[in-house]
Amino acid sequence: MGLEFLTRVRRTTLWVTAIAALWSATYTTPRLGLAVALGAAWSLVNLFLIEKLVVGLTGPDRGTPPALKRIWLALSGMVALFGAGAVLLSTLPPIGAMAGFMLPLATIVLKAASLLVLGSRLWPRVLRAGPRALGVALVIAVALWAGASLVTRVIANQGTTPPAAHEPRAPGAQPQAAPGHDAPAGTETHAPGAAEGGHAAADEGPQKFANVITVLSRAFPQAEWAHFLHQYEVVIFSLFIAFLVCLVAWLASRRAKLIPSGLQNAVEALVESLNDFIVGILGPKFGPRYVPFLGTLFIYILAMNLFGLIPFMDSPTSNLNVTVGLALVVFVYSQYTGIRELGVVGYLDHLAGNPRTPLSWGLVPLMLPIHVMGELAKPISLSCRLFGNIFGEDMLLVAFVTLGITTLSFANLPIGLPLQLPFMFLALLTSTLQALVFTVLSTIYLLLMLPHDDHEHEGEGQHAH
């Protein structure tokens, strides 16, 4: 066992921590699930610092300035880490934080025990036993199922408290109605959860998966920063995705090579495909001018669509405010392009239907309002189409996750059947298609605003259909 063993321990601990945190947040409280996740993260960072300290003290370059620097950085990190641990224990439930602290240590013990069992003489005998090995596996599975069911029932029972028969009541307080009886006249009845920070109103209607900001706002319902994050979570996710897109572009172009490879190769292939696609619609004269805008629009929308498939994240395009903002940007830019390329007179002539005959001039009072309404309908169709499809994807995944959990509800297990997996692959396809449809329609709207004389003399391969 060495550094490779610790690497495997860290990977296993990440999976176990994710399952334990989700289970705790679902069947207890979000604060307990957050405490488990942060406690495990604290313990993993502590193990990493210990590893660096041991390598610096016992490695082949011990005593050298780089090794001494690593030692001092590890010691300084441990001091800061213990301060963070104290804040964690005082802020979140200590039982959850302690459970998270123990997860990496428990993983180390179990992995070491498994190595001892696999290396012993007993394990080959069990494998050769055949039916006996199958019986042992079934006994272990039944024991785990019974233990999980017992823990789930205990936690569920802790959440329900029996009504007190002779509970003292403050002077002037209204008596509560017993179950099955009407409330006294003049008193108001509230639904469960109505006094929990206004979450009852938020629970009405279809709900998407909880993201990291939602978990934080429920874990700290009284904190102002949690309310701020929850109020502006769509803006935060949108800006974060924009930052990620800029970061990837910077990393791909930081050390550009004549023969690209890796990330630079992938980004250049994407940019080249978008350039050929957009130039094929707008033509070689106007196409390169609008590739930066339309290509960025496609990449940004695609990243926002796919971001919601990451656990504890959310797709900003499933919010109508974001899609309306994107559609308004396209609308304003296309109108600006029409005025810049055609001039004010040419722009009005375009809205009037380009009248050139007495009959077409007579139809201007009819064609002008129709064209104006058509231009105003473009951002509505763009925004509603993108919002409806991405929000529908999220709700479809929620429905099948709920169905998978309901399927195994008879066993009281904190897991469910992964019925949503096929639809996640479908979401990958539809998210890409919706970003492409939005970009294609935006390109066509710009094409309609450009001078058409330059396109009439181009080859058949340059015509936009």
- Which band of pLDDT confidence, cut at 50, 70 and 90, is reported for residue 158? very low
pLDDT at 154 over 70: no
pLDDT at 167 over 50: no
What does the DSSP 8-state code read for residue 163?
Answer: P
The alpha carbon dihedral of 77, 79, 80, 83 has a sign of positive
What's the whole-number mean pLDDT along residues 232-254? Answer: 92
- Give the highest mean pLDDT range of 94-98, 107-111, 242-246: 242-246
Contacts 24+ apart (CB under 8 A), 47-53: 47/6, 47/9, 47/10, 47/104, 48/10, 49/74, 49/77, 49/78, 49/81, 50/74, 50/78, 51/3, 51/6, 53/78
What's the whole-number mean pLDDT along residues 219-224? Answer: 85
Contact 316, 322 (CB under 8 A): yes
Residue with tokens 């990958």: 428
Query: What phi, psi does 210 have (nearest 5°)?
Result: -70, 130
Least reliable range by pLDDT among 121-125, 173-177, 339-343: 173-177
Element (H or E) spanning 400, and its range?
Answer: helix 364-407
Element (H or E) spanning 175, and its range?
Answer: none
Report the chain's mean pLDDT, rounded to a whole number: 78
The alpha carbon dihedral of 373, 379, 384, 389 has a sign of positive
Query: Six-digit token pair at 425?
Result: 């692959």
Tell me the C-alpha to C-alpha distance, in Å, between residue 237 and each of 247, 271, 439. Answer: 15, 24, 21
pLDDT at 186 over 70: no
Residue with tokens 């796919």: 306
Contact 434, 386 (CB under 8 A): yes
pLDDT at 360 over 70: yes
Query: Six-digit token pair at 81?
Result: 């880490």
25 or 384, which is more confident: 384
143 or 365, which is more confident: 365
* Cα-to-chain-centroid distance, residue 381: 25
Q: How far is it, in rounded angstroms, from Cα 273 to Cα 302?
A: 15
Q: pLDDT tens for residues 8-62?
A: 777 888 888 888 887 777 767 778 888 888 888 888 888 888 878 877 787 777 7
Q: pLDDT tens for residues 282-316?
A: 989 888 999 999 999 999 999 999 999 888 889 99
Contact 238, 222 (CB under 8 A): no
Q: pLDDT tens for residues 254-272?
A: 887 878 778 888 999 999 9
Please give the model's pTM, rounded to 2 decimal places: 0.66
pLDDT at 443 over 90: yes
7 or 274, which is more confident: 274
Tell me the C-alpha to C-alpha distance, in Å, between residue 438 and each of 127, 215, 281, 381. Answer: 57, 32, 14, 10
| 3-state secondary structure string across 204-253 | CCCCCCCCHHHHHHHHCCCCHHHHHHHHCHHHHHHHHHHHHHHHHHHHHH
Q: How far is it, in rounded angstroms, from Cα 411 to Cα 118?
A: 32
- Neighbouring C-beta atoms of residue 21, cutoff 10 Å: 27
The tally of CA atoms less than 13 A away on the side-chain side of residue 84 is 16
pLDDT at 80 over 60: yes
Cα-Cα end-to-end distance for the chain = 64
